Amino acid sequence: MLVAVVSAVTATGLAYRESRNAVLERKQDAVRTDFKNRVDQAAADLAVPPDEVSLTRFAVGVADGLGDTVVVAEYRTLRASSDASADRTRISRALRDAVRTRNRMSFQRVDRHGSPYLVVGTPVTFDSGTPSGLDVYAISSLRAEQDDTAGILDAVRDGLLPVLLLTVALALLAARTVLRPVRELGRATRRHAAGDLTSRVVVPKGRDELADLARDFNDTAQALETSVDELREQEAKARRFVADVSHELRTPLAAMTMVATVLDEDAAQLPPDTAHAARTVSAETARLSRLVDDLMEMSRFDSGAARLNLGEVDLAETVRNTLTLRGWTERVRAELPPGVRAVVDPRRIDVAVANLVGNALRHGAEPVTVTLAPGGDWVTVEVADRGPGLAPDVLPHVFDRFYKADSARTRSEGSGLGTAIALENARLHGGTIEVANRPEGGAVFTLRLPWRRGEGAEE
C-alpha cells in the first residue's frame, strides 16, 4: 500500500524532471545548431576588423532566422546588437570568459526579471582555427519552454491524483486478494505450531491457487486435530485405567495390610512352613502396597493432578529428617550446612531424596554421601555412592519407569518407579535431577532446585 503510493509519486516526479530536461535539451540543441549555421554564414561576409555599422549588420544578419532571439556581436571593445533595446547584461562575465579563453561555444541559462533565457556564446575563428577576436552571443527566451514544462507539471499534478487513487485501490485489492490470505495462512500456521490445532483459515472466493492452498491447509489441520484428539483420548483412557486399577487395588490391599500385622505377630507360634508363608504374605503385601502407592503417585503426575504444597523449611533439617525416618543415619554421610531456608514442598523433597539415597544404598556401595549445597539461584542436593558407577548404556534410562539395569537381576525392594517419581517431584518444583559417574568412581545424582527464598515477613 505504502509502497504503491511512494512509487507512484516517485515515478511522477521522475517523469516530470525527465520531460523538463528533455524540453530544455531540445531547445538548447536547436539554438546551438541554428546559431552556428547563421554565424558561419554571416561571418563569411564580414570583413575584419569590423566597424560599428558592419558589426551591427552582422548581428542582425545572424539574428535573422533565429526567431525570438537577440544577437550581440563583440569585437574587442566594439559592441553591436541586433536589437538596440536588448539588455546586454544578460551576458554574464563567466560566459564571456568561457567563450574567450576556452575558444569554444558555451551556454548559460539566466533568469532576468523572472523570465528564463538561454545565452549561447561562440568565438568566430579563421579557417586555420585561430580566434579572430569576434565573439557572438545569442540570447533567446525560454519562456515558451518554461510554459511547456509548467504544462507538463500541471498535467502530471492533475494526473497524479487519479493515478494515486488508482494505485491505492489496486494495492488494496492486491492486499485483499493475495497478501491478506497469505498472511492469515502464516498466522494460522504459527498458531498451529504453538499447539492450537483448532485454528483454521477463511478460504478466499475463487478457484485460484491461494484458495486451494487455504483449503488444503484446513483439511490438513482438520486431519491433524482429529488424530491428535484420538491420541489424547487414548492416552487419557490409558491413564484413567492405570489410576482406576491402582485405586481398585487399594481396598483389598488395605484389608490385607491391616491383617498382615496379625500374621507377623503370630508367626512365631505357627509351624515353620506356615510361619514362612505368613511372613512372605506379609512382606509381599507391604511391597505391593508400596508399588500401588507409587503407581498412584505416578498417575497423579501424568494427569497433572500433582500439586505443590509449599512451605518454607530449613533444607538441612528436611534432609536429616528423611535419613532419620528411614534409619539411614548410620549408613549415610551427610554434609548439611544449616540455615539454607527455601520454599519447597517438604513431603515431595523427602520423597525425592529418599528415592535417590535408597537407590544409592541398594545399587551403589557405601559410603553414600548426601551433600546440600546452596548457590545463587539454585540449591543442589547431591547423592553420591562409591559403587561401580553406571554403565554408559544405562545412564540415559536411569529415570525410565520400571527400567531394570540388569534384566537378569532379581527384583529389588523398590517399585521400579523410584527414580521416575523423584524426577517428577523435582520437575514439579521447576528443578531437575542429573546423573553422572564421578571420575573417582561411583554414581552421583544431583537434585537441582530453584532456590525460592521465603519472604520472612509477617502477614
Instruction: Decide if residue 457 touches another protein (CB under 8 A).
Output: yes
Residue number with CB closer to another protein (255 or 391): 255
* CB hemisphere CA count around 340 (13 angstroms): 25
Size, binding site for another protein by CB under 8 A? 43
* Subset of 435-454 contacting another protein (CB under 8 A): 454
Residue number with CB closer to another protein (69 or 322): 322
Which one, of 74, 67, 80, 78, lies nearest residue 100 by Cα?
Answer: 74
* Subset of 273-292 contacting another protein (CB under 8 A): 286, 289, 292
Instruction: Decide if residue 258 touches another protein (CB under 8 A).
Output: yes
Q: Which residue's C-alpha cell is 489441520?
A: 221
User: In residues, how long is the chain?
Assistant: 459
User: Site mask, another protein, residues 200-239, x = CB under 8 A?
Assistant: ----------------------------------------
Q: Would you call 330 helix, strand, or coil by DSSP?
A: coil
* Subset of 332-371 contacting another protein (CB under 8 A): 341, 343, 346-347, 350
How do beta strands 69-75 and 131-141 pair?
A: antiparallel
Which one, of 429, 445, 287, lies nearest residue 355 by Cα?
Answer: 445
Instruction: Decide if residue 401 touches another protein (CB under 8 A).
Output: no
Residue number with CB closer to another protein (199 or 257): 257
Min dist. Cβ of residue 371 to another protein (A): 20
Contact between 344 and 313 under an 8 Å Cβ cutoff? The reply is: yes
Instruction: Decide if residue 458 touches another protein (CB under 8 A).
Output: yes
Q: Which window, 41-49, 210-218, 249-257, 418-426, contacts another protein (CB under 8 A)?
A: 249-257
Q: Which window, 51-59, 105-113, 210-218, 255-263, contacts another protein (CB under 8 A)?
A: 255-263
- Which helix (H) or strand (E) segment is 374 a member of? strand 368-375
Residue 394 identity (one-letter amino acid): V
Rounded Cα distance between 391 and 363, Å, is 12
Q: Which residue's C-alpha cell is 510554459?
A: 147
Range 333-369 burial, b when 16+ CB lie within 10 A, else e: ebebeeebbbbbbbebbbbbbbbbbbbbbebbeeebb
Rounded Cα distance between 319 and 331, Å, is 14
* CB hemisphere CA count around 316 (13 angstroms): 11
Instruction: Decide if residue 11 touches another protein (CB under 8 A).
Output: no
> Binding another protein by CB under 8 A: which of 115, 261, 280, 329?
261
Instruction: Decide if residue 245 touches another protein (CB under 8 A).
Output: no
- Which helix (H) or strand (E) segment is 135 a member of? strand 131-141
- DSSP type of residue 203: P
The strand pairing partners of 341, in sequence order, are 314
Contact between 167 and 160 under an 8 Å Cβ cutoff? The reply is: no
> Binding another protein by CB under 8 A: which of 245, 262, 391, 436?
262
> Binding another protein by CB under 8 A: which of 100, 250, 279, 401?
250
Residue number with CB closer to another protein (252 or 388): 252
Min dist. Cβ of residue 325 to another protein (A): 5
Binding site for another protein (CB under 8 A): 247, 250-262, 265, 286, 289, 292-293, 296, 300, 305, 307, 309, 311-313, 317-318, 321-322, 325, 341, 343, 346-347, 350, 454-459
